[in-house]
Amino acid sequence: MDAIKEMPLSDEKLQEKIQEKTTELLELCKQNGENCDQNFFCFEKLLMTQIFQLACLYIQYFVVIRHNSIDYSHWLEKRTCYLKNSPVFRTIKTFCGPVRIYRNYLENKKGGIIYPLDISLGLTKDGFSPMVMSLVVKLSTRVSYATAVIIFKCFCRWSPSTEAIEHLVLGLGAEASEYMDDYSYDQTNDDEILVLSFNFGFSWHKIFLLGLPEIF
């Protein structure tokens, strides 16, 4: 049997799915409220799962809107790339869970591929969202990698592996000396821990890795 070809979801379709999931959430609250045997702890666990699923849909919607807004003229005017309209999919592991996204790409005449959407969003090839990277690295400055996995999983119900966290920490640490050369203690931010630069072939993008949000 032939494999089912993965097709991109339109922004209209995602809006429908978001509305459906919102209706499901309301019904979940109604049913559990009417169930006198349901306690708050069990309800809260159910609710968090559904909210994370809804959040993933919102993230997908955001990415699709951004994808549709990308201007490729910056590359095409140089006549060094071809625009490929066949979508390439990838999964981004976000705070709320895995999110499947798609993007068109540019193929360089001399070889190599550029993903303008990834550049626009500041996404790296490791597959983790910037917030996930920020959280696990910050945790790892306080506890062991194994403990960081346990803590992260308590809040998100998933976690990068200890190996992935170690790779992130060591990778970011390699950039620390360059950052500290320009660091000003007079303008310090308690939540700011690192600045990381990524070379996407034609320009540099900086991602500020922030500390734990207030919910922690």
Residues 44-80 have pLDDT tens digits of 999 999 999 999 999 999 999 999 999 999 888 888 8
Beta carbons within 8 Å of 207's beta carbon, 6+ residues apart:
122, 130, 195, 196, 198
Residue 197 pLDDT greater than 50, yes or no: no
pLDDT tier for residue 201 given thresholds of 50, 70 and 90: very low
Separation CA 30–CA 82 (nearest Å): 53
CB-neighbour burial class of residue 44 (10 A; exposed 0-12, middle 13-18, buried 19+): exposed
What pLDDT is attached to residue 85? 82
What pLDDT is attached to residue 87? 87
pLDDT tier for residue 181 given thresholds of 50, 70 and 90: low
Tens-place pLDDT, residues 140-180 = 989 999 999 999 998 888 999 999 998 888 876 555 455 44
Q: Which one has a higher pLDDT value, 3 or 216?
A: 3
Region 93-118: mean pLDDT is 92
What pLDDT is attached to residue 172? 60
Residue 198 pLDDT greater than 80, yes or no: no
What pLDDT is attached to residue 106? 93
Residue ranges per domain, the chain? 11-121, 130-209
The total number of residues written for the chain in this structure: 216
Element (H, E) at 21: helix 11-34
What pLDDT is attached to residue 185? 45
Beta carbons within 8 Å of 147's beta carbon, 6+ residues apart:
139
Considering Cα of 154, then 160, then 165, then 166, what sign does the dihedral take? Answer: positive
And the tokens for 159? 């976690």
